[in-house]
Amino acid sequence: MLVSAVIPTLARPECVVRAVQSALAQSYAPLEVIVVVDGPDEATQQSLGKIFDPRLKVIALRENAGGAEARNIGVRAASGEWIAFLDDDDEWLPPKLERQMRTVLESSVKYPVISSRLIAERILPRRIYRPGGDISEYLFCRRSFCYGEGMLQTSTLLAKRELLLEVPFQKDLKRHQDWDWLLRVAGRSDVEMRMLPDALTRMTAQTGASVSTSGDWRISLEWARSRREQMSAKAYSFFITTECVTRARKARVGHRVILELLAECFRRGDATFRQMLLFLLFCAKPVEKRSPETKTIEMAV
């Protein structure tokens, strides 16, 4: 079964070359690699042009479409029955696809979605996702202050092209595209999420200002409200605490905004004692004093 690796990129030629090389080095043989250059970027095209491998296909977009739509374009152009996503600053370990495809054969559902652990200073996530569990609670509910407890990171995902054509990434989202897709497919009876315990992807934290690292808490709040039906009440309250409060603190908002977010936890969520404790901790502890692990994962979502 042919697997198509889809890699969106823009203005990071050295990073994407490493990502492509890690994809081409997979032990799984039926493979093609599709790089979608998301807008005018001569340097990246020149760097990719030095890779002489018939399995590599480069799609250069005339205008920027955004990471989510770049992935969709790659999926539509793919020849493989299966799609594996890889961010341009991440790398796969050689056995990644082989082990995931072996797991595919063990699944009895129409659309298995296979993830794995990853390496980001340490092996993450700390908790393995168990099939049948509430995906929103796995992603957002925490037992500790640090990030990385529950993750299904994009560069670890393998899914059927048919499913991704039926449920594409939401192209107009500025943030949380991966979580948005996971929440939309996880509730389907023909989808099963599985996570391998092996760390098969090496993730690199993004640096510099971007939408995903900005302090605009409103984007996260609006997204959470739009996906409230796909989240449990408890998961919703945890999301408001861990994402919206964190970003609001970065933006140095006043007490009024924090109180509004607290009210949101009770009004539309189910605020537990643990979640309230985290809420207070996130309000009290400066972002710059959090651990390197916290910063790494926070920048990656």
The Cα 25–Cα 11 span in angstroms is: 23
pLDDT tens sequence across 139-150 = 999 877 677 889
Per the listing, tokens 């599709």 go with 34
Q: What is the pTM of this model?
A: 0.89
Q: How many residues does the chain have?
A: 301
The domain limits of the chain are 211-300
111-120 vs 122-124, strand pairing mode = antiparallel
pLDDT tens sequence across 103-137 = 999 999 999 999 999 999 899 999 999 999 999 99
pLDDT tens sequence across 243-274 = 898 888 888 888 888 889 989 988 888 888 77
Phi/psi at 122 (5° precision):
-145, 175
pLDDT of residue 115: 98
> For the CA atoms of 80, 197, 112, 22, what is the dihedral angle to 10 degrees?
-10
pLDDT tens sequence across 37-63 = 999 999 999 999 999 999 999 999 999
Residue 288 clears pLDDT 70, i.e. is over it: no
